[in-house]
Every structure is written in C-alpha cells, then in structure tokens.
Amino acid sequence: SPAAAGRLLVIPMEGSHWLSMKKVLIELSKRGHEIVAIAPDNKILIDSSGVYELKTYPVPLRKEVMEEHLR
C-alpha cells in the first residue's frame, strides 16, 4: 500500500546528485510530503524552492573560494 505523506529531511550534495534529487522532491511534495533541505551557506546549485524549505548552516569556506576551486 502507498505510504502516508510525512516529513522529510534532505541533506543534499552539490552536483548531479542534487539535480536528480530535486526532481524526486518535487514529486514527493505533490504527494503531500513536507520537505526541509539542509545545505551549507556556500552552496552553488542548491537553491530555494516553493516545494521545500531550505535551511543553511555556516561553513568556513566562502562561496567565491569554492567556485574558484571548481574552475
């Protein structure tokens, strides 16, 4: 039988993992789930959305430095 809607805590990783997971979260939200995503404040791809609540936490590496490392 299908699961009842509930609350989900998501701790995503940057990159393709997040891009794939975001589609799943959209579908789960349509089915009535409440979703909270937790990400570092230097996130690049992870963005806020109407289908989940985004909470950030501080990290010592600034976003600009992280982007430079990726380049």
57 in a structural domain = yes
How far apart (Å, rounded) are the C-alpha atoms in residues 44 and 60? 15
Domain annotation covers residue 55: yes
Beta bridge partners of 35: 8
pLDDT winner (highest mean) among 2-11, 12-21, 24-33: 24-33
Q: Region 4-23: what's the mean pLDDT?
A: 85
Task: Please indicate, yes or no, if residue 1 is contained in any of the structural domains.
Answer: no
Lowest-confidence segment of 28-32, 35-39, 57-61, 62-66 by average pLDDT: 62-66
- Whether residue 53 is contained in a domain is answered as yes
Model confidence at 52, in pLDDT bands (50, 70, 90)?
Answer: very high
Q: Is 2 within a domain?
A: no
Q: Supply the range of the domain harboring residue 58.
A: 7-69
Q: Tally the domains of the chain.
A: 1
CA atoms within 13 A on the CB side of 71: 6
C-alpha span between 51 and 21 (Å, rounded)? 13
